[in-house]
Amino acid sequence: MIRATIFPGRYVQGPDALKALGRELKRFGDNAFVIADPFVFEKIIPSIKASLLKEVSAEIIEFNGECSDEEIDRLSAIAKGKTEVLVGIGGGKALDTAKAVAHNLKIPVVIVPTIASTDAPCSALSVVYTPEGEFKRFIFFPKNPDLVLLDSKVIADAPARFLVSGMGDALATWFEARSCEIGNAKNMTGNPGSMTAYSLAKLCYETLLRYGEQAKNACEAHIVTPALEKVIEANTLLSGLGFENGGLAAAHAIHNGLTVLEETHRYFHGEKVAVGTLASLFLTGKDPAVIDEVYDFCETVGLPTTLAEIGLGDATDEQLMKVASASCAEGETIHNELVEITPQTVFSAIKAADAYGKYRKQE
């Protein structure tokens, strides 16, 4: 059996890592094109511009806020023929746009997240939306980013909710990868993953349980500690490698189902993935001790454990059945689970997870 595992070319993380951005870029050439989201353009670029330009020449363009084909084409036209390396700095949509522009221009791409809220920065894919913000399509790239660089001071200065959301996204990694490992399910390469991928997925889960609470406390205090560094790495690198190489299953499919209800749209990706993970525990019949371990973790760091906490406190059974049906759509990753998958079994799992979350809050 052929197994495949893919990685970013280089991963750099630590306090003041942004000050080393110019030196890192010089490995790829002397001319850079930087796409910065509006917050970064106003608040961060002024503080790193001198050190950046000391090493490379750089044109810095403000991102318009949406990863759309129109924005990708606009920035590709501006950067064409001018640059040897493409840089994205900011949140997920700016980073996804940078990946797509670099792919169009066939040049290296450097990804610089300013929050640790998802596991997408290391991945070889982008999510494209319409200019109005509606999901349009995925783009799968032939390689991962050439460099992912995270400044842990910048992460610590962001609201702790972003970090906690990243923990929610990362929480799913081991459970989904384990289902895929047992079933020899395909990962993002179209092949089953390696033992390295599954081991990193397990390490991701263990790191969250051990350091998650301390990391959240550090982020709330806007300080960098060893625990925060470990959780940033778990949210970004371990979870990124785990999902892309280990594979996805029920948690992310249920997340996708939850998005059919508009009430969930104001909640973060990782918050909804956490609810999907809890539901997956009941769907797959996990041991009660494991279920309690995961609920304990979510309650400790502040991840949602009930539907009310993602805007669905008044959701009807009819609405939840729509969620369940969408989760079971043809091609969804939930079919990588090793149990019976029907809208009814998923509906029951969602209801069971919500009921247990409510019960625990009453204790």
Place of tokens 């390469």: 189
Cα–Cα distance for residue pair 150/147, rounded to 1 Å: 10
Q: Are strands 31-36 and 135-140 parallel, antiparallel or unpaired?
A: unpaired
Reading the block at residue 243, the tokens are 């999902």
Catalytic residue numbers, as ranges? 169, 252, 255, 269
Each as own residue / partner, the long-range contacts of residues 143-146 (CB below 8 Å, 24 or more positions apart, any chain) are 143/6, 143/9, 144/6, 144/7, 144/8, 144/9, 144/244, 145/8, 145/9, 145/99, 145/109, 145/110, 145/111, 145/121, 146/8, 146/9, 146/10, 146/28, 146/85, 146/108, 146/109, 146/110
